[in-house]
Structure 1
Amino acid sequence: MTRAWLLPMVFFVCGCAVATGSFRSGHIAEGATIAAAFTLLAYLNSPLIFPRSLGAREAQRRSALDGRPVVFWRPGCAYCLRLRFRLGHRARQLHWVDIWRDPEGAAVVRAANDGNETVPTVVVAGTPHTNPDPAWVRDQLAPSARRDRNAGG
């Protein structure tokens, strides 16, 4: 099991244990609610809701070509989750690097944050920004989105 899945699995197993206790005591609706809540927590803290992660080198290469920001993140990070949800469908336009899966990505983040693995760290045009406002990140997508539309039509 990789580190990225540890927290979601803990949520899921704990939810199953608590829900089982409720089921055994005859509280079916309570058990179902608990199971659903813990399953949702597991899902929200899993890598599943984030766009597919790339390696740091590949993300930086793609960013150099298309000008889109690179987001360094890790599962279980509330600030990364906030950024992902606030960006909505536009999050897929960014290049995402899971620092728990990519040692080079973790090194980039440590270099940008005085040795700390503080995420999300968003790199725009080679400049790192630690935990930026999601609206600011969305604004960074505007130039590349316009460039893509102009190139296509």
Structure 2
Amino acid sequence: MSRGRLLPLLLTTAGVLGAAGLLAHGSTVPAVAALLACLVFAVVNSPLLFPAALGTEEARRRSREDGRPVIYWRPGCRYCRRLRFRLGRDARRAHWVDIWRDPAAAAAVRAVADGNETVPTVVLPDGEAYVNPDPEWVRERL
């Protein structure tokens, strides 16, 4: 199982177990509330909210062709979620690469982030990279 799916799976499991425990004690409303809360957190922390992840080479090739930036991210990163939510529909116009799925992507991020895997990292088609940029700045480049 990939690391990106571990947190959502744990949150879902905790929600089901917690809801089952509350239901066993006759607390229906708190059980449903706990389950829904855990499911919402699971979805927000899952790769499902992000456009389909590409490999590094494919994303770079597409970026050169269409002039859109490559955004390196990883599941569970609150700064990546913030960027994704703030971009809204425009997020689909960028090329997203999950650094936990692609070792070359992690290496690319380390190369521009002083050896750290700091995400989100946005790389423009000309090769210029920005670590954790302002979402409005990214939107302008889309």
Counterparts of 1:55 and 1:110, CA distance in 2? 16
Counterparts of 1:113 and 1:14, CA distance in 2? 35
**Aligned Cα RMSD in Å?**
0.7
Counterparts of 1:7 and 1:128, CA distance in 2? 29
State the TM-score, normalized to the length of structure 2.
Answer: 0.97
Task: Give the counterpart letter for 1:131 in structure 2.
Answer: N
Counterparts of 1:116 and 1:24, CA distance in 2? 46
Deviation track 1:49-104 (CA, whole Å, cap 9, x = no partner) reads: 10000000100010011110000000000000000000001100000000000111
- 2:4 is matched with 4
Q: Where do 5+ consecutive residues of structure 1 fail to align? A: 142-153
Q: Does structure 1 residue 75 correspond to structure 2 residue 75?
A: yes
Counterparts of 1:118 and 1:23, CA distance in 2? 42
Q: Where do 5+ consecutive residues of structure 2 fail to align? A: none
The DSSP-based 3-state class of the residue aligned with 1:72 is: strand
- 2:36 is matched with 36
Paired residues, number: 141
Summarize the alignment of residues 1-153 of structure 1 with structure 2, pairs less than 5 Å apart: 1-124=1-124, 125-141=126-142
Counterparts of 2:135 and 2:104, CA distance in 1? 24
Spell out structure 1 runs of 4+ moving beyond 2 A: none
1:19 Cα deviation after fit? 1.3
